[in-house]
Amino acid sequence: MSILLLIFAPTLFALYWLIRLQMRLSKVRYLVDAYGLDPKKLQRLKYNDIKELRHSIDALRRANDAYGLEDLVKPYQR
Protein backbone atom coordinates (compact mmCIF):
# COMPACT_ATOMS: atom_id res chain seq x y z
CA MET A 1 0.00 0.00 0.00
CA SER A 2 2.78 2.45 0.88
CA ILE A 3 4.56 1.62 -2.38
CA LEU A 4 1.47 2.66 -4.32
CA LEU A 5 1.36 5.89 -2.36
CA LEU A 6 5.00 6.57 -3.22
CA ILE A 7 4.24 5.96 -6.88
CA PHE A 8 1.07 8.06 -7.10
CA ALA A 9 1.99 10.96 -4.79
CA PRO A 10 4.25 12.77 -7.30
CA THR A 11 1.64 12.25 -10.01
CA LEU A 12 -1.10 13.77 -7.87
CA PHE A 13 1.17 16.65 -6.90
CA ALA A 14 2.01 17.34 -10.56
CA LEU A 15 -1.66 17.15 -11.52
CA TYR A 16 -2.55 19.68 -8.82
CA TRP A 17 0.06 22.16 -10.08
CA LEU A 18 -0.96 21.68 -13.72
CA ILE A 19 -4.58 22.45 -12.86
CA ARG A 20 -3.51 25.50 -10.86
CA LEU A 21 -1.32 26.69 -13.75
CA GLN A 22 -4.19 26.31 -16.22
CA MET A 23 -6.48 28.30 -13.92
CA ARG A 24 -3.91 31.10 -13.71
CA LEU A 25 -3.40 31.16 -17.47
CA SER A 26 -7.15 31.24 -18.00
CA LYS A 27 -7.51 34.27 -15.72
CA VAL A 28 -4.66 36.05 -17.49
CA ARG A 29 -6.14 35.24 -20.90
CA TYR A 30 -9.52 36.65 -19.82
CA LEU A 31 -7.95 39.89 -18.59
CA VAL A 32 -5.93 40.26 -21.80
CA ASP A 33 -8.91 39.62 -24.07
CA ALA A 34 -11.52 41.60 -22.15
CA TYR A 35 -9.51 44.64 -21.05
CA GLY A 36 -6.49 44.73 -23.37
CA LEU A 37 -3.98 44.22 -20.58
CA ASP A 38 -0.37 43.37 -21.31
CA PRO A 39 0.34 39.68 -20.64
CA LYS A 40 3.99 40.39 -19.82
CA LYS A 41 2.97 42.79 -17.06
CA LEU A 42 0.52 40.23 -15.71
CA GLN A 43 3.18 37.48 -15.72
CA ARG A 44 5.00 39.24 -12.89
CA LEU A 45 1.94 38.95 -10.67
CA LYS A 46 1.32 35.93 -8.46
CA TYR A 47 -1.80 33.80 -8.67
CA ASN A 48 -3.48 35.51 -5.71
CA ASP A 49 -2.72 38.96 -7.13
CA ILE A 50 -4.34 38.06 -10.44
CA LYS A 51 -7.32 36.62 -8.63
CA GLU A 52 -7.67 39.78 -6.54
CA LEU A 53 -7.32 41.99 -9.63
CA ARG A 54 -10.10 40.14 -11.41
CA HIS A 55 -12.39 40.34 -8.37
CA SER A 56 -11.70 44.08 -8.07
CA ILE A 57 -12.46 44.61 -11.76
CA ASP A 58 -15.72 42.66 -11.45
CA ALA A 59 -16.74 44.67 -8.37
CA LEU A 60 -16.07 47.96 -10.16
CA ARG A 61 -18.01 46.78 -13.21
CA ARG A 62 -21.00 45.85 -11.05
CA ALA A 63 -20.82 49.26 -9.35
CA ASN A 64 -20.61 51.01 -12.78
CA ASP A 65 -17.53 52.92 -11.65
CA ALA A 66 -15.82 53.68 -14.97
CA TYR A 67 -13.20 56.00 -13.50
CA GLY A 68 -12.23 53.54 -10.79
CA LEU A 69 -12.02 50.75 -13.34
CA GLU A 70 -9.82 52.87 -15.59
CA ASP A 71 -7.51 53.76 -12.69
CA LEU A 72 -7.24 50.09 -11.71
CA VAL A 73 -6.53 48.78 -15.20
CA LYS A 74 -4.27 51.58 -16.50
CA PRO A 75 -0.95 50.32 -14.98
CA TYR A 76 -1.42 46.93 -16.66
CA GLN A 77 -2.38 48.14 -20.14
CA ARG A 78 -0.05 48.03 -23.10
Contact status, residue 61 vs residue 69, Cβ threshold 8 Å? yes
* pLDDT beyond 90 at 6: no
Give the residue with greater pLDDT, 4 vs 23: 23
pLDDT in tens, 29-53: 999 999 999 999 999 999 899 999 9
- For the chain, the three-class secondary structure string (H helix, E strand, C coil) is CHHHHHHHHHHHHHHHHHHHHHHHHHHHHHHHHHHCECHHHHHCCCHHHHHHHHHHHHHHHHCCCHHHHHHHHHHHEC
* pLDDT beyond 90 at 5: no
pTM of the full predicted structure?
0.79
Q: Of 19, 76, 16, which is closest to residue 50 (Cα–Cα)?
A: 76
